[in-house]
Amino acid sequence: MPDRTLALLGRLDAATGVSGDESAVAEIIADELAGHHDRHESDALGNHYFFHTGSEGAPTVMLCAHMDELGFVVQHVEDEGFVRIAPVGYHDDRMVIDQDLRIHGRSGPVDGVTGAKPAHVLAPDEREKVIPMTDIFVDVGTSSREQTEGLGVRVGDLVTFARPAGLLNGTRVFTGKAVDDRSGCAVMVEVMRRLPADTAVTVCATAAVQEELGIRGAGVAGTRIQPDVALAIDVTLCGDTPGIEFSRLPIKLGEGAAIKYFDWAPAAGYGTAVPRRLTDRLERAAEGAKIAYQREVLMGGATDAWGIQLSGLGVLTGCISVPSRYIHSAVGCVHLDDVESAVELILAFIADVSASGLP
Ligand SMILES: [Zn+2]
């Protein structure tokens, strides 16, 4: 794992890219990919496309990682100066209390905290209850609406968790506010950087928007590119921490990228059943290059693969997942070995398609 991947992960995680305004992340990706693509396009939604142009008539492989992160949006400023926020993306309300948040206002970042009623004064029934998002407010230290607005805070401003990223105690476990899906963005950037110049297939690295709001960007991207085969790159859940029934989330941190077989979020109707001819080829590529991998079947979640698969007349689509602990919270963790395994697996797959044609 080159040090530059860690630096890249840190730079991407620190960027602000709540769903709906991912432009700062796109700028970083464009900067990191300078000199590593033949063409760069973007669309009306803010999806960005970086192409390696292969030989005439060769198939197109699309990669897709989403740039957006879970966050909040300012909904109202109280007379007393407190800021009311609405969720952008699917939050677990329990994870939003007692956090440092950063409001990205008109005059720059404004820091605040989400507090709650102290334990000392809670009624017995309140102790048992989760504090709902609708009761949460941000204290930015002011005492009036005028003062808060004076800091540049306005309705519609986006809000992120404010937490520096980094490795835990010199291990290879990286924790950050937005590992979902900046770790996927890092994988995609590394793939493009390491792609051999003579790669026969055309590769389109797609940095997509608004995944956390219901996979809104990827379908548009799939329709635009209509590739011969596509791979989403996203995080998946791990079941290797205390208190989780491992059989329900049988993925471990640090044991390699996961090849998606199936996922389904029945409540939303999203999901991807990856055709065996694609999973077979991904496994063949991994085994041929001696890359560690896991097989993934996930209930309750879905990725950009869903949007791409159903775009246009339909696209052969799979997903390579980076295992992550504490998904959809401010303290998500990924393992550098898994990031590296995902990069190598995708490169091996692209080489396999270049050599042997489409799955
Ligand atoms: Zn994601």
CATH number at residue 123: 2.40.30.40
Number of H helices, E strands in the chain: 9, 18
Last residue of a domain, one of 128, 161, 194: 161
Given a cut of 70, whether residue 1 has pLDDT beyond it is no
Residue 167, Cβ neighbours under 10 Å: how many? 14
Range of the domain at 95: 71-161
Q: Are residues 42 and 186 in the same domain?
A: yes
In the reported structure, the alpha carbon of residue 321 is separated from the centroid of ligand 1 by a whole-number distance in angstroms of: 9
pLDDT at 54: 97
pTM recorded for the entire structure: 0.97
Residue pointed to by tokens 């996922």 = 263
The answer to whether position 172 is within a domain reads no
Question: Quick check: is 211 catalytic?
Answer: yes
Indicate the length of the chain as a whole number: 359
In the reported structure, the alpha carbon of residue 232 is separated from the centroid of ligand 1 by a whole-number distance in angstroms of: 10
In the reported structure, the alpha carbon of residue 299 is separated from the centroid of ligand 1 by a whole-number distance in angstroms of: 15
Number of domains in the chain: 2
- Top pLDDT among 127 and 292 is at 292
The C-alpha R_g of the chain, in whole angstroms, comes to: 21
**Do 318 and 283 contact (CB within 8 A), yes or no?**
no
pLDDT at 6: 94
Of the candidates 211, 212, 340, 344, the residue annotated as catalytic is 211
Q: Are residues 136 and 217 in the same domain?
A: no
The answer to whether position 46 is within a domain reads yes
Q: Average of pLDDT values for 126-154? A: 93
Question: Tell me: the pLDDT tens digits for 114-124?
Answer: 988 888 888 88
pLDDT at 128: 84
In the reported structure, the alpha carbon of residue 180 is separated from the centroid of ligand 1 by a whole-number distance in angstroms of: 5
H or E element, residue 189:
helix 179-194
The answer to whether position 21 is within a domain reads yes
Instruction: Name the average pLDDT for the chain.
Output: 96
pLDDT at 2: 57
pLDDT at 94: 84
pLDDT at 119: 81
Cα gap 83→57, rounded to integer Å: 55
Cα gap 296→152, rounded to integer Å: 45
- Top pLDDT among 2 and 25 is at 25
The answer to whether position 320 is within a domain reads yes
- Angle ∠(63,69,70) on CA atoms, nearest 5: 140
In the reported structure, the alpha carbon of residue 203 is separated from the centroid of ligand 1 by a whole-number distance in angstroms of: 21
pLDDT-above-70 percentage for the chain: 99
Q: Average of pLDDT values for 297-316? A: 97
